[in-house]
Structure 1
């Protein structure tokens, strides 16, 4: 009986006190839940940061064998940029190569055209050429060249006269080519006129007390870009390589022509389709002629060649004159 009353009392007491207990415990429980939530989030964040730092330290460790792979970052954009740059460089190099080949071809064509004009001038092809040859300590000589045939003019050469307007008459045809006022004699090519030279140092065929190689020249009519030289060769080599030229010793050449020779050509082209194939833009003289000056300085010390497709008054003025000034210039 007593137990039953005690139980009933506790039950009533708990039922009646549940409201104030709940009111008193709710703030504590809420504060506890908030604190637990903050601690939990802080622990998670701290764990993530620590984990990231640990992973970073592991990735960038000098002792790590995968260091190069980890620190090399390549994005698809960088790969495309590198490929594009490489393609542009290859295209630029290819364009430069193509341009160089084109320039080389154009230069070769220009050199060949100039060479064809020079050959026509010195041989009187597709027109008529006059030539004045000046050598050291000799009187200048004048020639007229027509289609490879030489004529010595013992007198004065009259240049062509260009008729204008009403002055044109039957006699003007007689003066459209250079003429010799005097005596014109057929002759061979002047021995002092040549367009390329090969120098040989020939080994003597007979023994002597003093050994000295002999100097010979191969004088060729064709133009050559370079001056060739053969040292310590036999006469057989000279004969084989100078089949299209004239062989002359250096001493003979000095006696006959001196050490300096100046050849001045004036070429008057015909008005024909054949002459039009030449680069006649060089024929810019007032009378429509082409000027070609070739000069040589040949001695036992040096060989020098000069060529001008124009009229060089200053060069002609001092080239033949002797003296210390010319020796210094040459």
Structure 2
């Protein structure tokens, strides 16, 4: 069905009026002023509250994903052999329910592939269910396909419905590795907490591996196809920003961009590299208090496949 190239979130001030001896007033006023200051939350506390909000309320959000891979080599190579590239884009909406944690996405999938001097484009309506174990997909609402969600080499690049929650979990789970560094920081506005993570090629290897986990199955599959001439992939950069509402702790917006490269070398010594770019944007549209369930008709008639993208 799909071509081969085809988942964040008020403290009350106490006013104390005092009268009496000026010395006592001065001392007590200072204490009261301290009590009036709202407690400064840590990044861990803000993220934890955001996760609690999602767990209690579910979510509905608008998403946009982009994945591109492009083989870049010597000019002579491209003049003779052409270009080799693939692009996946998805624009649509995702609903998330809690207990059980299920997802439903609906939107449009755009694909483009270039092999040599031939270019192919496609635009397909897309519907996806994810029940935590399996993904069900369709481009016409009638014919459905199903696959094991843990066994898809490109599930990290598009358009896994659980991706926003997955990246929120990554952000929370890795804080201990870099909370004393300057790679992650939180700023406050009147209305929100803004958490930003920036990593580059010199980042801690554990952090690199965590954020390459989405691309790794896909890169590994490509290395297998290329053969022994594929070198170890390199992390280039990662930027992730999440805006969390200051009152309700709803994760309002999230942006994510990851870049990596896979060096390759042909038998004749010609060197090239495959550049990967993965972007994701999510804008929360409110709660989703209902339950999402995969229709029984979809479950019963979905065709089992190994790759529905």
State TM-score, norm by structure 2. 0.32
Greater RCO (CA < 8 Å, at least 6 residues apart): 2
State TM-score, norm by structure 1. 0.31
Bigger proportion of residues as strand = 2
Which of 1 and 2 has greater Rg?
1
